[in-house]
Chain A
């Protein structure tokens, strides 16, 4: 049992080792880490090699070096380098593993060995993740050293990137394997996998937009509710004032045209919120069974950098527009316009909080469910096929 598994993994390593792209990607990975080792932060601002830039208030007082490097690692290096460029290189390198394994003349050799077909394919699948695993391990160790030496803090937390990136790659690789089984063509498997991946990415981007738009509507409702409250308060004060003066009291508070207009607006905004909620809910339902590639990677940043720390980086000057409560209050008092856009910092803040609340279970659980189904279908096809 173990003997065959080990042999398949050793074979996968030798196969990768024989490919130039594997080593090219590894060298590029190290270069990327080297590049961000050149960036630093001190009391004056950001430094690149020995060039000093004045980026106050974005300096080491506001953003400690530890946080600065963790941020670069989990919000720039991993999402852009590891999960876009390196992943495309990984998909290109590994796309041919399954078609080669299935090619006539090769597959017979493996199938005629005392190993069950489903176990054979499963082991082959897992060994295909070796590429991503080796890349991310090397990358993370190098980053760990950079953060340790340059940032002065040994961040063991970043090793979370290893399982996260492997997991992320495994969603795509399972799709690639299914397509390879169906088409037996490296090119078709590769191109269709990339296409599906970009499809999943656009679905996530759309989800982000819909979520932001809903949160904007939620805030608008809250603003009008606050304004209504303020106006009722003002009305009561006015009544009390009139009462104290012994003047005649007008017919009911509802007669106030400003309050009536606010209530009308509130109805209108509530209807808009219901529509936005329905859209967002439907979209969420639609994408629940799909693998969440982007969010799986985002989970890394979300667990390494807390909401407060993220705010420090995004808003080092402490602008009030990032503050949800203050924004609602200011707009309710008519200091700013009421309409919220999905790019409002306060909306982005609320959206980020909600996405953080979705948590590990939903993001990874549903994605793993998808992967399990895909791998299961692969095993079924592979077990029943004649070669």
Chain B
């Protein structure tokens, strides 16, 4: 297996009417990692996923998926895909859905049957196997969708909004499935707008803004240089105007009961603690922190002129 499961350069898509959905995407997804794609609405995430899945034809595209050029149909036998807002034929039962899409993915009959039972077990849908999809709830359809994406034992799994409309328990189950896939050495590509979800499972992420990749890397890489200490107080600081906390005020930001000190040097935090203690302000907790994915995301999006304007 090549080291890069997805390696694309200069992927662009201009829809009729001159709408530039993608303006030259560069993206690398390593084999065996869980990769998160994020971006605000209209950034082109769905377009990118659909190009990789040959649902949309790119205007320009160089690069490979699983070592073959993008759009190479036979390669799709090794790819599993859960489309956003997918609709299964309502006249089929869960078992029939897996059998049908398994056959479409060219999986032999015996393998299909065996895997269908295993996967229904994995996603917790065994007792719904013989029930019609029409009677499924949103969360159940999503679980079945994930099973469908895995019926061909793919090397690459692409999940478009997998937790859409799923309750918290279902989300945890889906996260567990993703972790299981990672443990099996599969590459998982997730497109989601639920940042906290991605944060929990992703090894690497790319942030897409207005058809371009703003940032790409591990969460640590993205947070690079933005590590800090957070001091939580038991009560908000009294509004006594400016308080001298003993360090350069440029390093400090106060947000309610939380004081953030932008430094990686624990020594530089000591004067702040001393100042707080000397004023009799009780410290609840303290420790190093790194920006959440949400912070990184907001920073990336807001740094782009014109977005949110």
CB distance A115 to B104 under 8 Å? yes
Chain A proximity mask over B215-234: 1 for CB below 8 Å, otherwise 0: 00000000000000000000
A271 interface contact, C-beta 8 A: no
Q: When A114-B73, A387-B55 are in contact, do A109 and B105 touch as well, CB less than 8 Å?
A: no
Give the docked Cα–Cα distance between A20 and B106 (Å): 31
Quick check: is B81 within 8 A (CB to CB) of the other chain? yes
Q: In the assembled complex, which residues on chain B have CB atoms less than 8 Å from the CB atom of A4?
A: 103-104, 106
CB <8 Å contact, A7 and B104: yes
Cβ distance B198 to chain A, nearest Cβ, rounded Å: 22
A contact residues around B100 at 8 Å (CB): 7, 10-11
Contacts A105-B86, A386-B15 hold; do A116 and B73 have CB atoms under 8 A apart?
yes
Q: How far is the CA of A14 from the CA of B100 in the complex (A)?
A: 11
**Interface flag for B79 (CB, 8 Å):** yes
How many residues does chain A have at the interface if contact means C-beta atoms less than 8 Å apart? 29
In the complex, what residue of chain A is closest to B75 when comparing beta carbons? Answer: A114
Please provide the chain A residues from 371 to 387 with a CB less than 8 Å away from any CB of chain B in the complex. 384, 386-387
- Chain B 76-104 against A: per-residue CB contact (8 Å), 1 yes, 0 no? 11010101111111011000100111011
> How distant is the Cα of A269 from the Cα of B92 in the complex, in angstroms?
68
Do A386 and B55 touch (CB < 8 A)? yes
A380 CB to closest chain B CB (Å) equals: 13
Q: Is B50 an interface residue (CB 8 A)?
A: yes
Query: Is the interface on chain B under 10, 10 to 19, 20 to 34, or 35 or more residues?
Result: 35 or more
Q: Which residue of A lies closest to B47 (CB)?
A: A386
- Is the C-beta of A255 less than 8 angstroms from some C-beta in chain B? no
B50 touches A108 (CB 8 A): yes
User: Given A11-B100, A114-B106, A387-B50, A105 and B87 touching (CB < 8 A)?
Assistant: yes
Question: Which residues of chain A have C-beta atoms less than 8 A from B148's C-beta?
Answer: 109
Q: Which residue of B lies closest to A110 (CB)?
A: B104
Query: Cα distance A113–B148 when bound, in Å?
Result: 12
Q: How far is the CB of A115 from chain B (nearest CB, A)?
A: 7
Q: How many angstroms between the C-alpha atoms of A105 and B101 in the bound complex?
A: 14
B54 on the A face (CB < 8 A)? yes
CB-CB under 8 A from A108, the residues of chain B are: 50, 53, 55, 81, 83, 86
Considering the complex, which residues of chain A in the window 145-167 have a beta carbon less than 8 Å from any beta carbon of chain B? none
State whether the Cβ of A336 lies closer than 8 Å to any Cβ in chain B. Answer: no
Task: Report the minimal beta-carbon distance from A97 to chain B, rounded to whole angstroms.
Answer: 11
**Chain B: which residue is nearest A19 at the CB level?**
B91
- In the bound complex, CA of A14 to CA of B103 (Å): 15
Q: In the complex, what distance in Å separates the CA atom of A376 from the CA atom of B4? A: 38
Digit string of A345-387 for contact with B (CB within 8 Å is 1, else 0)?
0000000000000000000000000000000000000001011
Does the CB pair B74–A114 fall under 8 Å? yes
B171: interface (CB < 8 Å): no
In the bound complex, do residue B55 and residue A111 qualify as a contact, i.e. CB atoms below 8 Å apart?
Answer: yes
**Interface status of B266 (Cβ within 8 A of chain A):** no
Q: Mark B109-127, 1 if CB is under 8 A from A, else 0.
A: 1000000000000000000
Shortest A116–chain B CB gap in Å is 6
Chain B min CB distance to A193 (Å): 23
- The residues of A that contact B180 with a CB separation of less than 8 Å are none
Instruction: With CB as the reference atom, state the residue of chain B lying closest to A106.
Output: B87
Measured between beta carbons, the chain A residues less than 8 angstroms from B77 are: 114
Residues of chain A contacted by B53 (CB below 8 angstroms): 108, 111-112
User: Out of B73, B89, B105, which one reaches A106, CB within 8 Å?
Assistant: B89
Query: How distant is the Cα of A100 from the Cα of B89 in the complex, in angstroms?
Result: 9
B108 interface residue (CB < 8 Å to A): yes
**Cross-chain contact of B101 among A6, A100, A113 (Cβ < 8 A):** A113
Lowest 10 CB-CB distances: which A-B pairs, in order?
Answer: A7-B103, A18-B91, A105-B87, A108-B83, A112-B53, A113-B104, A114-B77, A386-B56, A114-B76, A112-B81
Report 16 cross-chain contacts, Cβ distance below 8 Å, ordered by A residue. A4-B104, A17-B91, A18-B91, A104-B85, A104-B87, A106-B87, A108-B50, A108-B55, A108-B81, A108-B83, A112-B81, A113-B105, A113-B106, A114-B74, A115-B104, A386-B50
Which residues in B have some Cβ–Cβ distance to A below 8 Å?
15, 50, 53-57, 73-77, 79, 81, 83-89, 91-92, 96, 99-101, 103-109, 148
